[in-house]
Structure formats: structure tokens, C-alpha cells
Structure 1
Amino acid sequence: MKVLSIQSSVAYGHVGNSAAVFPLQRMGIEVMPVYTVHFSNHTGYGAWRGPLLSGADVREVVTGIEERGGLDDVDIVLSGYQGADDIGDAILDAVDRVKRRNPAAVYACDPVLGNATSGCFVKPEVQELIRDRVVPHADLLTPNQFELGFLTGTDPRAIDETLDAVELLRAQGPRTVLVTSVERPDRPADTIEMLAVGESGAWIVQTPHLPFHANGSGDVTAALFSAHFQRTGNLAFALERSAASVYGLLKNTLESGQRELQLVESQEEYVAPTASFTAQRLR
């Protein structure tokens, strides 16, 4: 399997490609990372250094890969945070180039817009880009519950509301939707869930809720789920394995007392998770 991953990069810590690439490689997957920024650290620190690349820069890198024949056997195009509309256009161009060579390839998009705590934190132009141009081209979408509501103009809370919102999103183009950080009001205390919906049905998995937030965990989740699902075609398995791996990574990070994901230290979690969780079929 080969992945073209077009995302941000940081030297210190793990977000974007700096979070997604290593777990995929540890699973034996070839990854071609293309950077949209190269910062010293993620912006959650309030200060950072380094260059922001343009859409033209991204196109140049992808063109160079194409000239080497590197796009011929790509199975997944993976994208995350998109800081400007020219980056989004460059990613969609890359998707088009890949699919011309391999129609079975999928575009897996994490539509980074915001969260329930902070609200929407991207520019209006990026909101429009993702809602109007990216979502219709995505085969697999991995929004959190807030982003699901934003993209569908709903406020999903109960599980039936969330499922209905997912179907609204799937009607726009994506065949498969993974909703991360699902917090339905009637869930057991100290738990959190992920919901996966596709052509084979709808599945939900529940894990203990760890009392902290780690930047980059969504990037890891999107990468692992996309790879497992493209590799096996089994929605429930992809959901269970991704949940187990990310839970192990977050548990190790919490126990370390460190702010940044313990990505390398947790490498066995990507191939043989220490925990296991069973997905329940909803529809």
C-alpha cells in the first residue's frame, strides 16, 4: 500500500504529517509526505517559527513525484488541516492526478474546522473550501462531532441525530464517514465513542475517556482508520483497530506526563494494540 499524505509538518512534537507518517510506516505502508508548512512546533503553543508553503509549492512537489512515476500506484491521498484555499486546490489537483492512474484510490480527508470547545478556528475562505469543494470530492471523511454539525448545518447530540447528520454528509459525496470524539448525552460516564458509517452499515465503538487533550491525535486516527479500511474493506475492524491503537497511544502519553504525543515510544500500539474494543452495529 502507498499513501500520498499532504499535510503540515513540525520539527518539535507530532501533528499533521509529523503525526501520521510514522504510524503508517510502522504498519509497513509506504508514505510520501508532502508538506504544507514546516514549523518549529504546532500553533497551540502560541508562538512558532518556520515557513508556510503555497499551493504552487505543493503542486511543484507533487509534479516532481509524478515525473518519477510515484503517483502510478498510490492507494490513498490523505489530507488534514488546510490553511488556505490555494492549498486545498493543490490537494484536489493531486487527487485528480492519482485517480486518473488508479481509479480505486481513495481521497481520505480530515476536514479540520474546529471543535466544540474552541468553535470554528479556520478562515471563512477555508470553511467554504472544505464545505463546498473538498467534501464532494472526498471518498472518506473524518470529522469530529462539531465538524459534522458545521458541515451539515445541524447540531447532532443524540445518536440518531448524529447518524442522520452523517447521512446528510454522505449524500454530498463521501461514501464513508468516521465521526471522532462522539459525546452523546446518554453514554456511560468517563467514556467517549467513535462512529463509522459506510455502505456496509453503521458501527460505534466506545473507549475510556482519558482526561486530557493531545494535539495530533486526530491526525493519527485519520491515518490509521484510512489505512485499515482501504487495506481490508472491513468497516468494523478498521474502527476497532484504530480505536485500540489511538487509546494505547493516548494512555502512554498521559502516563508519561508529557504534552506531546509519545508517538515513537508507542510504536507497538500500531501493529499490536495492548487494548481491544468491540464495535457495536447500529444500522
Structure 2
Amino acid sequence: MQPVSKLQPPPIDVLTIQSQVVYGSVGNGIAYRTLLKKNLEVLQVPSVLFGCPPYYGTPHGGVVPNAWFSGFLDDLIARDVVRRVRAVIVGYLGDVMQGHILADWLQRVITINPEIKIYIDPVMGDYGEGVYVDERLVGCYRSPFLNLAHGVTPNGFELEQLSGCPLTTREQTQHAAKALLKGNTQWVLVTSAPGVATRDDEVGLLLVTANDVQSFTHAKINSAAKGTGDMFTALLISHLLQGDPLSTAIPAASREVCSVLEEAARHGWQEIGSLRALK
């Protein structure tokens, strides 16, 4: 039998780096399940570890120590795993130091594997709750860290934090998103985009690239389940890895999220449960 050190790692489709909970459908708790359902090979790195999401009250757990977090990432380089990864998804981070650690690590990974795609969901908060992360992360995301990503998926509130300006119209949203097209960033997809949906029962999305702007809408589902943004990003990336263009991947991912939320609402679930609606 050959020594393990002389064998190469198996191919990995997605490495997802975000929050992790024992119970709940947020962060890796939903992204990992979603990507597996799409028949993708997935690895996950936790930024925080909690028994459940904080909206149930103060949970047990906490931010993954910096030495552990950087160690988890360094192990993937040491084992040559990153050379076999197709895409990295970055979501909720526990504190600003994780942002700095991750920025340095991503630069090293891109050097090792120039074909890898980086997708960052700059999780900071939303209109209902305001900023719910380490406030210093807002500044970290405004730094060149964000421009290591090929694609960025902020919601409208997060785009406001990145731009430093309130956004109420489609034109303002488009302008703010276009300002993020620097470095490696080829596209910005704004979810819950201000000024896009024209009806109260719809949610708007705005895709901005260097040469084009496209808008999309989907039905607003009356469900209490959280983690829809994490699930949407995972679904979007799964479609892109299948070779779908953004113009079809976005509405497809939106439809799938709506189907899953409709099932959760129909059963009265507090979290996203079954993923039977995903194909």
C-alpha cells in the first residue's frame, strides 16, 4: 500500500467557510446540506460553533479561536487539498481577525490554484436587525479583501454598509454595486435589492457586471425560517459549477429557495427542514 503522503486528495467541488450550528438552518447548517443535495463534494470550515442560532436566545458555543481557524485553513494547504477545490464560499465570520486571516489565506490559495473561484457573501446584517456581526468586519469588507472574490452576494442592507450610503432606488443600488467591481470581482448580485421589486409581494435582485445590469424578482414567501441567503448562495454556486450562466442560475436558485420555504411554511416549521423540493 502506498503511503498516504504520496497519494493526491480527491477532487472537491466546494469549500464553505461560515457559521456552524448543531441545530438550525443557517450558515454551513444549510449550505452544506444544500450542496450535498446537489451531488457536490463539499468540505466545511466553521467560523463560529453554536448549539443553535442566537435568535433562540443566548446559545452555547462561540467564535472558533483564531489559532484553530487559521490552523484549519493551513491544513488544507499543507495536505494540498486547495489544489483540488473548484470553489470557495465565504459567509458569516466570527470577528475581524478571521477576516484578516482569511484574506491572507485566500491570496495564498489563488497563487496555488489560479483556477479556483471565490464567492463572498459579506454577511453583516439586514434591514430588520441592523448590523449583527463584529462592527469592525464592515471596515474589513470595505478593504481589498472583498476584491479577492470573483462574485459577491450582499443583500441591500449590506451593500449600504459597504457603500456608506442609503439606497432607495435601482439607480443608487446599481451605482453602489458597480463600485465593488475591482480586483478579481467580475459580478455583484444584490439580493433584496432596493428599488427593483415593484410589488409588495415580490423580492428584487440586481446583477451588476462591468458590461451589463439585469434585474430579477421572485415571490415573497411568508416563512419564519432563517438562512435563506446562505441557501441561495449555495444553490447559485451549484448551478454555476454545473456550467449554467448567471442569467439562468439566479432565477433557478430563487425558485428552489421559494419551494423549500413554501414547504417549511406549509408544515409550520421554525427552520428549513426537508430539501425534497431541490432537484
- TM score, norm. by length of structure 2: 0.88
Residues paired across the two proteins, number: 268
1:63 is matched with which residue: 61, 67, 74?
74
Shift of 1:172: 6.6
Give ranges in structure 2 of 5+ residues lacking alignment.
1-11
Shift of 1:156: 2.1
1:106-137 deviation per Cα after TM superposition (whole angstroms, max 9, x unaligned): 22111111111222222332111112242232
Tell me, in whole angstroms, the C-alpha distance in 2 between the residues paired with 1:102 and 1:153: 34
Give ranges in structure 1 of 5+ residues lacking alignment.
272-283
Tell me, in whole angstroms, the C-alpha distance in 2 between the residues paired with 1:240 and 1:222: 12
1:72 is matched with which residue: 74, 79, 83?
83
Tell me, in whole angstroms, the C-alpha distance in 1 between the residues paired with 2:277 and 2:57: 32
Shift of 1:153: 2.1
Q: Which residue identity lines up with residue 116 of structure 2 in the other structure? A: A
Per the alignment, residue 4 of structure 2 pairs with none
Per the alignment, residue 11 of structure 1 pairs with 22
Q: Aligned with 2:82: secondary structure?
A: coil
1:182 is matched with which residue: 174, 188, 193?
193
Tell me, in whole angstroms, the C-alpha distance in 2 between the residues paired with 1:31 and 1:94: 19
Tell me, in whole angstroms, the C-alpha distance in 2 between the residues paired with 1:203 and 1:156: 17
Q: Which residue identity lines up with residue 41 of structure 1 in the other structure? A: C
2:234 is matched with which residue: 215, 218, 223?
223
Q: Aligned with 2:205: secondary structure?
A: strand
1:175-228 deviation per Cα after TM superposition (whole angstroms, max 9, x unaligned): 111111124276023111222223562222211111244221111111221232
User: Which 4+ residue blocks in structure 1 deviate beyond 4 angstroms?
Assistant: none
Is 1:137 matched with 2:148?
A: yes
Provide closer, same or farther for how the CA distance between residues 95 and 231 of structure 1 changes in structure 2, counting only shifts above 3 A: farther
Tell me, in whole angstroms, the C-alpha distance in 1 between the residues paired with 2:197 and 2:270: 30
Is 1:2 matched with 2:13?
A: yes
- TM score, norm. by length of structure 1: 0.87
Q: Percent identity?
A: 28
Q: Which residue identity lines up with residue 9 of structure 1 in the other structure? A: Q
Per the alignment, residue 214 of structure 1 pairs with 225
| Aligned alpha-carbon RMSD (Å) | 2.0
Per the alignment, residue 135 of structure 2 pairs with 124
2:212 is matched with which residue: 198, 201, 213?
201
Per the alignment, residue 102 of structure 2 pairs with 91
